[in-house]
Amino acid sequence: MKKNFCLAISAIIILFLFLSGCGTYGQSTTGGGAAQATAPLTDTKLVTVGFSQVGAESDWRNINTDSMKESLSAENGYDLIYDDGQQKQHNQITAIRTFIQKEVEYIVLAPVIEDGWDTVLTEAKDANIPVILVDRMVNVSDPDLFTCWVGSDFELEGHKVCEWLNEFCRANRINGNEINIVNIKGTEGASAELGRTKSLKSAVSRYGWNLLDERSGEFTQAKGREVMSQFLKEYDNINVVYSENDNEAFGAIEAIEAAGKHVGSDIKHGEIMVLAFDGTSDQAVEAVRLGRITCIGECNPLHGPRVEKIIRNLEGGITPDKYEYVDEGIFSADQSVKSVTIGDETYEVRLP
């Protein structure tokens, strides 16, 4: 009986171990084990992205960079290789070639100017690396050299601000030939400069404004101040400044006040009206609310979430739209103009 009892105990122990093993296996196939089977380690690796940014020339650019870094973070599943082009196309071309050598999976490019990209983007295409453009466009012979573009309609931005000025003149009984305007342009050849300048020239022709002069402020506050100082020395009848970004406008205001003049919308009584683009920083918002910048055409810098979504779609085999425009408004504290109409679209003028 003792022998039979021992055999019975051994059988119970073996059966218990067997059932325990079955229980453990069942748990692994319905819980963590199943997840590991359907999501192998290779699927959890970070997606490598090379991002060539223009530089850090403006508040808008810095916010744009932060948006990209936050969206393409390690927490979101990305290994971001960031390169500051310092406003030089040569630096950006070198960065793209470095990205290709490192075999990144995607290249994001904010080009400093539109021309001169065919060769290096062909190299990226030959390496089967999708290129996503942000902010500014490129002028290339083959549109397949880039996968898609995310950014602003710069010409539309310019039309909004110019139409605002036209409506302001009508509301305040100011003839077009009384407008003596100078243009502090952005970086020559950049998409924003090309679009905003084109809109201004169209409005000058259409409404009879006097375009006294235009020079590049390179999208920087220091250069904007320098250019405006030169304008004030050469022209004594300036009453409107068209600054192609916030930072140039800040520099222009500094120059105007240093010359003993006043900024504002009362151009009938000697004030100089400052118009601008971007409207992204607290300083710009406050300048509009105080009337120091009379009107701003918004330029949305938050491209990061859109780019991240595009990459996720590409990873999932979804082809993105070739061109994706961001939504933007127009801001002013002056109550003369409630809205502007461009084509079939009407845009409300709001406080920022």
Q: Look up the CATH number of the domain holding residue 53.
A: 3.40.50.2300
Question: Residue 336's closest CA among 252, 266, 278, 240?
Answer: 266
d(CA 206, CA 166): 10
Q: What is the mean pLDDT of residues 251-268?
A: 98
pLDDT score of 13 more than 80: no
As for how many domains the chain has, the answer is 2
pTM over 0.75: yes
Residue count (the chain): 352
In this structure, the answer to whether residues 334 and 187 fall within a common structural domain is: yes
Q: Are 151 and 67 in contact (CB under 8 A)?
A: no
d(CA 102, CA 104): 6
The pLDDT value given to residue 352: 83
* 9 assigned to some structural domain: no
Q: What are phi and psi of 72, to 5 degrees?
A: -100, 50
Give the alpha-carbon dihedral of 267, 255, 193, 301, to 10 degrees: -100
In this structure, the answer to whether residues 333 and 309 fall within a common structural domain is: no
In this structure, the answer to whether residues 337 and 189 fall within a common structural domain is: yes
Whole domain around residue 310: which residue ranges? 45-151+302-325
d(CA 297, CA 162): 10
pLDDT score of 105 more than 90: yes
* 345 assigned to some structural domain: yes
d(CA 67, CA 305): 7
Q: What are phi and psi of 214, to 5 degrees?
A: -150, 135
d(CA 162, CA 157): 9
- Least confident among 2-16, 92-106, 184-198, 223-237: 2-16
The pLDDT value given to residue 39: 29
In this structure, the answer to whether residues 262 and 135 fall within a common structural domain is: no
pLDDT > 90 in the chain, percent = 86
